Structure formats: C-alpha cells, structure tokens
Structure 1
Amino acid sequence: MTFDNIANSRFLTRALVLLGLWPVITVHGSWLQRNYRFYQLFLQITFTFSFTFLMLLEVICSESLDHATEVLKFLLTEMALVFKILNTWYYARKAAAFLHEWETGEMFVLRSNAEKNMWAKKQSTFRKIMLGYIYWSISSAVCALLSCLFINDQALPFPYWTPNHWLEDYYWLMYFYELLTMPFTCLCNIEIDVFQCYLLLHLALCLRVVGMRLERLANAGDENAITREFLKTIKMHRRINDMARNCEQIISLPVTIQIMLSALIICFIIYRMQSVHFSDNPTEYLAMFQYVVAMSMQIFLPCYYANELTVQSQNLSKSLYNADWTGMSAYNRRLMLLYMQYLKLPLTMNNAYSLLALLLNVSDDKDKK
C-alpha cells in the first residue's frame, strides 16, 4: 500500500474549494470547474467583502470612540482576511504545484519505515493541533453570536453599518445575515492559516527526511553507491530550499500583516475586557477571552512552524556529522566537508527576520534617546 505523504493537504484543499478559496479543480469537465469563478465570487462578495465594507462604514460613521474600537477589533480581522483571500487566489496554482511535486516527485517518496513513522507522527500531531485551533476559533464566534441573546438591547454581536431604523425594524434579518457570515468568514480565516502552516510543516519534515538519509549514508553500499546517494540527498535539499523561497513569497506578507493586525486586535479586546464585568454578561466575556486566545494562536502558529523549518535546517550539519564518515573514501569526505560549509547558513524566513530586526532597531533607538 502506497504511503500518502500529503494526506492532510487533501482535506485542506477540499475545504478551501468549498469555501471558494482554491480555484485549482482537479476534476476536469465538472460543473464545479466550469462555474467555479462565479461560485467563489458569489460566496466571497456576498459574505466576506460586503461584510467588511459594511464594518468599515460603521467605523467611519461612528460617533463614539468606544464604539469605533468595538467595531475595529472585528474589522481588522476581516481586513486581514480579505488580503489573505486575494493572496490565496493569486498563489493557488503555485501552491498546487508544490503539492503535486510532493505527491509524485521521486525524491520525496518516503523509503524506510523510520521515515514513514516519523512523518505519520508529526502529521498526526499537526492534525490534532489544527482541530483544536478550529474548534476554539469557531466556538469564539458562536459565543459572540449567542451573547446578544442575553441582553435586553437589540445590539448586533458584530456591529456593521445599516440604514436608519433598519436595526429596529429588521433586527432579526440583520442578525441572520451575521449568523451566516461570521462562521463562514471564520472558517475561511482558519483554513488559510492552517494551509499556510501545513506548507511550512511539510518543508520542515522534508528537511528532517534529508537529515535521516544523511545519517544512513554509510548503509548505501560501496563508495560509488554512497556518492550517488549523497548527491541525490544534496539535490533534494537544494530543491527544498528553492521551494522554501517560493513558499516565502506565498505566505510571508499575509503572515506579517496578520501578526501586526492581530497584535492591535488583542490590545482592543483587552481594553474592552477591562470595562466589562463577567457577572453582567458571562457569554460576552467568554467570547472575548476566546477571541484573544484565537488571535494569539494566529500569531504563534505560523511563527512556530517557520521556526521549525529553521531548526530542521540547522540540525542537518549534526545529522551529517553523525554519519559514519570515518570509514568513507577521501573523495566522499571532501564532499561532506564542502557540504558542511554550505550548511553553515540555515534556512530562514527573511521577511520575518527583517520585521524583527526593524522592531529591535526601533526599540534600541528609543532606549538611546
């Protein structure tokens, strides 16, 4: 039975297709493929884009700073989502090409049981973490939608602009629109975040496979077989580095924007929480707490998996040293020495490093003043 090394991505891409976020339809000639552009535009314009625009109008027309802050903590999330949707549409085919190569490429086929067990364990852990993230984020939206049922005023849980007197005359219609829109946009946001983390995880696991193959070089056979296996492994490593650079183009800007906006959202929510008592409306308070945790996870998860990519890249030199190189030929030892020099520069996500360096420089300048 063939080992499926992209099993998690199949579920993710199906979910992205249903949400109108993945224009790469593999079933040629199907109704969905022929009409998918209209399908995705209908979904995103009806829910995401329109809802974001109405929230923006509400902030512009707001007469109170507290109310504007209340809307902004949701508007910033929607604005980040709009950018991530457009970015996903633009880079979907490049990401699909990665998945196809990972599935069919000979160098990415897992050879040993140790590689398969490691891969299955890491993917299972990723699946559990992402299911927890999905459950927590959806539950925060549900709690916010339910919180308005426990107050006397006819207030929407996620305020957006409506014409005069519509909120009084058509409150339940406005509420029903939110009841459809918020879970939908929440799922879109979650699926894009999870897919970006999956790309980083897959690249990190590929580097781990490279390390395992470097450690087993001595088991390849004679010196010629060791040389061939070593060159194949180097070729795989270079291909992974190229993919990581292309992956950086796909996810670095959305992740940077998400981190900056999520940090602002956390500040807005904490400001709001200090003026709300748990006993007055426990559902609203719980929803805000869950929202803070969800925003924190949006910052933490891509940073964690990007760091895993760097960690696995740094571990390659250790894996190469752990190979039984003392009994190899002088030619293979020279190859290892050259490759060890190449491994001194680990793989990093340059955009994240540049943002961190900028923030540190700004902080240092303030301290000097």
Structure 2
Amino acid sequence: MDELLAYKSLAPHVWILRASGIFRLNQESPKHHIFFHTIYLRWLIGFFSVYTIQQILKIYYSRDDVNKVMETMFLFLTNTDCIYKAVVFQSKPERIEELLNTLKGPIFNKGLPEHRPLLVDTIRHAMLYFRIFNHMSLFTCFLWVVHPTLMHIQGKPIQSTVWLPFDANQDPQYYIAIVYVWIQTSWLAHANTAMDVFITFLLEQCRTQVSILRIDLENVVQKSKEEMADTSSSYSEILEKRFRKMIIHHKEIVNSADKIQDIFGGAVFYQFIIGGWILCCSAYRMVSTNPASVEFVSMVMYIICILMQIFLYCFFGNELFYESIKLTESAYDVDWLEIPMKLRLHLLIFMERIKRPICPTAGSIIPLSNSTFVSIVRSSYSFYAFLKNSDH
C-alpha cells in the first residue's frame, strides 16, 4: 500500500496531539500507557479551564473599563475555542480513529506511481503549514511575555490579562505570574495549531483522493487496455472491475467528508462565530498601542494567526468543493467510444453519483469557502467600527 502515504500526511499531527494531551492513545497501546495518558488528558483540560476561569474573573472585575475588558476578551474567546476542540477530540476518539483507519486502508493507498506525487505533496504541505502556523503562534506568545517584562524592568506598572490572587507588580510574584501565563498561552497555541491543521488536512486528504480518482477516471480506458495485454482477462471484465473500484473510492471519500463534518462541524462553527469578535477585540486593542512597541507587533502577529486559522478551513474546504466539481468534467473526458455498450451504464451511474459536489460546512450551516472568509473579516470590521463609535 505504498507505505500508507495517505496516513503519513497526518501521522506527525496525531503524535503531536497525543503528546500535547489532546488526543488519546489508540486501544492497541499497553493498558498502563492508556491509563496514565488518560489522566494526563483530563489534567490538561482542567489546567486550561482554570486559566479560562481566571480570564472570566478578570473580565468581571474589569467590566466597567472597556479597554481592560478588551485586553482579556480576545484571549478568553481563543481559549474557549481551543477547549471546545480539545473536548471534541477527547469525547469522540473512536470516530476520529475510524477516519485515521480509512487513511491507512487500501482504498486511499493504492500504491500506483501516478498517485504518489499527489500524496507526497499533501504530506509536505501538511508539515509546512503546521510549522509556519505553529511558529507564528509561539512567537506571538513569546512577545506577550517580552512586552510586560520590559515594562516591569523599567519599573512601570503592568495589568495582567488574567485574575491573580496577588499583586503581579511585585517580585518574585511577577516572574511566577509571567512564567505561568507564558506556559498557558504557549501550550494552548501549540495544541490549537495542531488541531486546526489536523482538521483542515483531513479535508485536504479528501481533496487529494478526489484528484486521484480523477486521474483513475480519465485513464480508465488506457489502463484497462494495458492490463488486458499483461493478463488473460477480457477487456470488459477489467473495465467493469475498475469502474466498481472507482465507485467504492468515491463513496469512501464522501463518507470521510461527512464524518469530518459530523465530528468537527460544531467546533468549526463556533470558531467562525467567535472569529469575528476575536479579530474585532484584537484590532480594538491594537489601535490603542504604540506602533513602535513590542505590544503592537505582538497584536499584529496575533491577528495574522487568527486570520490564518480561519483561512485554512475556508481555503481547504473551498478546494475540496471545486475539486469534486471537476470530477464531473473528468467523467466527460472519458473515451466513450472505447467503452462497450453494456458498461456505459456503469459510467452513467457513476456520473449520477458525482453530480452532487462535496460541500463541507461548519455546523451544517456555514459553507467552508473563500466567500465565508471574506464575510467573517467584513463582520469583524463592522463590530470594530461599532465599538469605536460607541466610545465617542
């Protein structure tokens, strides 16, 4: 099965998610490993939840000051998004394993030379996107530590973005607080980027499989003739067998896309809903900072990360949709005259099956498309303009 190339695109992300305390070990692991890893998963959710509660308390105690509320609100919303996705991973591990088993299966790993470049490209892009996204997020968290530390060294008072039971402007309390915040934000950023890239590249793997199916469909006549020359089977038998395999392949792709939407659709929907508010709150805080400061750079980096997070879902969902539309074009490119009359019915049945394109959505409501990304950005600007106008 050509080294399970379909699964290799997500294998590193699975390892990262398990190491980060997001996704449980598979049931084939030793029982004592599963036991301790489960404790680790539950502890981590509690660790994140405590930090989120501290943010809620900070917002509550600062509710009369809009600027202080905005300093915490965008981080609070991001944390809730991360926790939501983590809960999905921990509450539906069997269904996620089903998807991973599909990627390991023979239908997605046919081992043909013409399929390999597409699968290898997907593997390379999956790691590239994760590294870029992850490094940007961790660098942003680092800048959030640098800015208050410089102010503290200069003797200037700082405002913590979370509620703390002590004065963070005193030593050594400050360094305890800043290390705690840095660990929380960096761990959340690392886990969040891994979850986002994992989900989006499940969609991208579906798109890759549609591209592979297009190649098989366009070359079905030629490949059948080549196989007939090398075997004793008849041309009609070979052609019929290949049509049946393509129908099964397409069914598996559609089922995988449906499972992805069913498992992660709610989390993606929540992310889209709060995405506009996060961008709005971030922009509101950014315009009140000095453009030459570390804080301003950190906010710019954070906004880019949030835009990238939303864009990944919209872009790869959009690519899957349009690649599935092209599948119909590939069916029309088949050499009909070389197909026996009794087998043309198989092609007609297949064309009926692919007539409806794969359209991934968030929560079965919002389509994952480039137009959705533009709409979210526009909405966030509208929220921001409303907040700015309400200040005057």
What's the TM-score once normalised by structure 1's chain length? Answer: 0.90
Q: What's the CA shift for 1:294?
A: 0.3
Q: Which amino acid aligns with 2:258?
A: R
* Superposed CA offset, 1:175-224 (max 9, x none): 12112111111111111111111211111111111111111210224022
Partners in 2 of 1:341 and 1:31 — Cα distance?
50
Q: Counterpart amino acid of 1:159?
A: T
Please tell me whether the aligned partners of residues 24 and 93 of structure 1 are also in contact (alpha carbons under 8 angstroms). no
Query: Is 1:297 aligned with 2:321?
Result: no
The letter for the 2-side match of 1:109 is N
Which of the residues 204, 220, 226 maps onto 2:224? 220
Aligned-pair RMSD on alpha carbons?
A: 2.2
Runs of at least 5 residues in structure 2 that lack an aligned partner in the other structure: 226-234, 380-392
Q: Percent same amino acid among aligned pairs?
A: 19
Quote the offset at 1:174 in angstroms. 1.2
| Matching residue of 1:325 | 336
- Residue 53 of structure 2 corresponds to 53
Mapping for residues 144-223 of structure 1, pairs under 5 Å = 144-151=144-151, 152-155=155-158, 159-163=161-165, 165=167, 168=170, 170-218=173-221, 219-221=223-225, 222-223=235-236
1:367 alignment counterpart: none
- Contact in 2 for aligned 1:154/1:171 (Cα 8 Å): no
Distance 1:166 1:273, change over 3 A: closer
Going from structure 1 to structure 2, the CA distance change for 1:21 and 1:30 (only over 3 Å counts) comes to: same
Query: CA offset at residue 35 of structure 1?
Result: 1.4
Deviation, 1:108, is 1.9
4+ residue segments displaced more than 6 Å: none
Residue by residue over 1:109-137, the C-alpha shift from the partner in whole angstroms, topping out at 9 and shown as x without a partner, is: 23321101121123212321221111111
Deviates more, 1:341-350 or 1:130-139: 341-350
Residue 31 of structure 1 and its aligned partner are, at CA, apart by 3.7
Structure 1 residue 50, shift from structure 2 partner? 0.7
Indicate conservation of the 8 Å contact 1:27/1:33, yes or no.
no
Partner of 2:298: 287
CA distance in structure 2 between the aligned counterparts of 1:340 and 1:81, rounded to whole angstroms: 40
Contact 1:24 / 1:96 at 8 angstroms: preserved in 2? no
- Relative distance call for 1:74 and 1:313 in structure 2 (3 A) is same
Q: After TM superposition, list the pairs within 5 Å mapping 1:101-112 onto structure 2.
A: 101-103=102-104, 105-112=105-112
- Change beyond 3 A, Cα 1:79–1:167: farther
2:285 maps to 272
Q: Does 1:262 align with 2:265?
A: no
The correspondence for 2:265, drawn from 239, 252, 257, is 252
Q: Retained in 2: the 8 A contact 1:154–1:168?
A: no
2:83 aligned with 1:82: yes
Contact 2:254/2:358 (8 A) holds in 1 = yes
Q: CA deviation digits over 1:227-254, x for unaligned, max 9?
A: 1110111011012111211110112111
Counterparts of 1:101 and 1:165, CA distance in 2:
53
Give 2:116's aligned amino acid.
Answer: K
- Check if 1:119 corresponds to 2:119: yes
Q: How far did residue 64 of structure 1 move?
A: 1.0
Query: In structure 2, what is the equivalent of residue 366 of structure 1?
Result: none
Cα displacement (A) at 1:74: 0.7
> How many angstroms apart in 1 are the aligned matches of 2:126 and 2:182?
29
Q: Is the 8 A contact 2:141 2:182 kept in 1?
A: no
Q: TM-score, normalised by structure 2?
A: 0.85
Which residue of structure 1 lines up, in the alignment, with residue 354 of structure 2? 343
- Secondary structure at the residue paired with 2:4? coil
Q: Structure 1, residues 37-88: CA drift from partner, whole Å, max 9, x if none?
A: 2111222312x11101100111011131110111101111011111111111
Q: Which amino acid aligns with 2:118?
A: M
In the alignment, what sits opposite 1:66? 67
Match of 1:136 in 2: 136
CA separation in 2, counterparts of 1:252 and 1:181? 26
